[in-house]
Structure 1
């Protein structure tokens, strides 16, 4: 169901962008203001829902991790989180070197347009203040999740699971179905103000850079795994390509687990390690997702002339790696979990959030494929470390 929902969403977002451009160019201002009014309300609702989404996704995820706590769990989580952080920071350095020059002409175009462009205003506005701010909800979710993980029997855990179900239903049945209309309103507004064609050309440039970076990341991940396991990195990566292409089609880390597991076993990982690491990493390893969000966030900040530095993005990347835990289980979960941090730490407004969502969905297949393929590299490393530290009977591994 989730796979079908998100696949349909990609088409709907594309259609929303096209219709938004057409409506903004050819429909009268009075009609376009209807979409702006909806966007204002939906933006308020999204701001209200984001802290709840963060708690609903993170609390049960952390409590479940603690359920089977042990050295293998800690090792896998540490390597997966380290891989996610490496992807985020390497993306920051690459993007900060490439994007300023690549996007320079677009910045000038948007500045010239912004000075005299007409703006659409909503017919009315409704304020929906959130019950908690983003950082409070993030730390509260972390504390409650850890507390539950140390309790064998907890009534609160059942409440948290029910809350997770409610939040998942909210995302699947309300937020995700309304996202195309929200994006339509964003592009109608940009088209009406004359910014849309500059933005679309930026989209193409950003997507091309991120695709190249995610291929490079996979090469680095499997080179490191190959050095540790003393195997051929290209053969290891080639073995994982069925999982990569399956993820391109399913757009789901969870749905690709059987293929990822099968190909990981073919790379010589023991059945015990592969059976533990692959399902776990499908939830916590988000190197492709953090790459997309970091690169897109920086690109939009450059276009808006917003200042940024390494210190700002350091905090953003660390918090993003935590906030996206368990997000792959929900359609659009990663970008939904990131919205609050984009607002609170980077100062993104409603229009920038809409562009982030559109960019993320457009590249979702590649990010998911990068995530699950990298899971195979992590399994190789965990298997090598555990086999070196444990006294056990020899296991048959393929040697290159």
Structure 2
């Protein structure tokens, strides 16, 4: 009689990877940790190469498969994502400016600043240049998807459509056979590096109150988004939230909205989102819906301003948020991508002198953000499926004029 193989689910694997990363970074010798970081770095390089191809494949086919109303759904999705990002950032400032003054201290941020440029180096790196950057991939997917949706069978044949269909199948095979199985290694390397360089415990031990407030804002905003999605779609928001747990856990570990796309697509399927909608909205929102990242960046910027007694108000924060809502479209795919995109615009909050990208205040911003980035990313991807639920309802009720799909 054959023994049954014990299968460990993705969430337990991610949790084990995080725990191992913290243990390795705390107790293992540097040579061992550098080896783990090297493996993680190689995987990260390959992931950066695949992500633009994934965007082209999924977004193109998602839009092309829309039976009607592709342009309208694209516009609705973009508007919902941008408005959500603006609301999240503005709310973050209002909460942070009222809570942070009670427990911020200059000494705490000075200690964190010391870890800003500290990290383990890989033994070697591989240079695999992506064929497209993220923004170019999104733009190409828009053009191909919209044109295929409106021209296929009318002005052109089906050859390009079938070619993109095969290309999408290839990318899907790579994701399920390579990317997802190796995600725990990637996560383990990330936490090993953060722990060995002192970032993890420096932030948790010194600014744990800020950390908890930001995470609480993420979770509350996720709940608000799914409540709204539930009201619009008629679905139970608590079921939607439960379905999102694997996507949330994956994003916490990968720190990348784009890398979480395969898992998030499965969460969307459980939400009852039609295939043509989820394959279009999820990859798209992974690149344009940055509500969680905006909450974190705004909160960190507010904390730094309060510490250094720099003037800050809603009037200065809102233009900053509106600018980042567009600029961060190019940021997904790599841990910390959002804060690196935000650096050139920090002068809008800090002022020209304090906002110098090479100055100590910006270094503090990077250190603060990176350690909380995983939770912001998890908020981003969770909101993606809330938006997907709303878009799915609009598509069925007003474009297909069919009853909403039932929950699985």
Under a length normalisation based on structure 1, what TM-score does the superposition of the two structures give?
0.64
Between the aligned partners of 2:105 and 2:164, the Cα distance in structure 1 is 46
Is 1:313 aligned to residue 310 of structure 2? no
Between the aligned partners of 2:34 and 2:193, the Cα distance in structure 1 is 9
Match of 2:221 in 1: 213
What's the offset of the Cα at 1:32? 0.7
Match of 2:88 in 1: 91
Indicate the RMSD between aligned Cα atoms, in angstroms.
Answer: 4.6
Between the aligned partners of 2:142 and 2:392, the Cα distance in structure 1 is 28
Match of 1:247 among 243, 262, 269: 243
Is 1:162 aligned to residue 163 of structure 2? no
Contact 1:24–1:190, Cα closer than 8 Å, also in 2: yes
Structure 1 residues 374 and 344: alpha-carbon distance in aligned structure 2, compared to 1, 3 A threshold: same
Match of 1:190 in 2: 194
Between the aligned partners of 2:31 and 2:394, the Cα distance in structure 1 is 54
Alignment of structure 1 residues 259-274 onto 2, 5 Å: none
Structure 1 residues 207 and 171: alpha-carbon distance in aligned structure 2, compared to 1, 3 A threshold: farther
What's the offset of the Cα at 1:199? 4.4
Contact 1:55–1:137, Cα closer than 8 Å, also in 2: yes
Structure 1 residues 26 and 242: alpha-carbon distance in aligned structure 2, compared to 1, 3 A threshold: closer
Between the aligned partners of 1:106 and 1:294, the Cα distance in structure 2 is 27
What's the offset of the Cα at 1:26? 0.6
Between the aligned partners of 1:50 and 1:353, the Cα distance in structure 2 is 20
Between the aligned partners of 1:217 and 1:362, the Cα distance in structure 2 is 10
What's the offset of the Cα at 1:113? 3.8
Match of 1:179 among 167, 176, 183: 183
Match of 2:32 in 1: 31
Between the aligned partners of 2:55 and 2:285, the Cα distance in structure 1 is 20
Structure 1 residues 147 and 107: alpha-carbon distance in aligned structure 2, compared to 1, 3 A threshold: farther
Match of 2:58 in 1: 57
Between the aligned partners of 1:107 and 1:180, the Cα distance in structure 2 is 36
What's the offset of the Cα at 1:30? 1.1
Alignment of structure 1 residues 144-155 onto 2, 5 Å: 144-149=144-149, 150-152=151-153, 153-155=157-159
Between the aligned partners of 2:130 and 2:52, the Cα distance in structure 1 is 7
The alignment partner of 2:39 has SS state of helix
Between the aligned partners of 2:141 and 2:73, the Cα distance in structure 1 is 22
Note the alpha carbon deviations across 1:151-189, whole angstroms, 9 max, x for none.
Answer: 213211111011111112222222222222122112111
Note the alpha carbon deviations across 1:254-295, whole angstroms, 9 max, x for none.
Answer: 1231xx8xxxxxxxxxxxxxxxxx665545556997898432
Structure 1 residues 161 and 111: alpha-carbon distance in aligned structure 2, compared to 1, 3 A threshold: farther
Match of 1:256 among 266, 271, 276: 271
Between the aligned partners of 2:380 and 2:59, the Cα distance in structure 1 is 24
Note the alpha carbon deviations across 1:136-155, whole angstroms, 9 max, x for none.
Answer: 22222222222222121321
Between the aligned partners of 2:59 and 2:298, the Cα distance in structure 1 is 27
Is 1:127 aligned to residue 109 of structure 2? no
Between the aligned partners of 2:171 and 2:32, the Cα distance in structure 1 is 33
The alignment partner of 1:121 has SS state of coil
Between the aligned partners of 2:105 and 2:64, the Cα distance in structure 1 is 45
What's the offset of the Cα at 1:25? 0.9
Aligned residues: 330
Contact 1:297–1:356, Cα closer than 8 Å, also in 2: no
Contact 1:206–1:299, Cα closer than 8 Å, also in 2: yes
The alignment partner of 1:122 has SS state of coil
Structure 1 stretches of 5 or more lacking a match? 1-6, 226-235, 261-277, 324-334, 388-394, 396-400
Greater fraction of residues in helix: 1
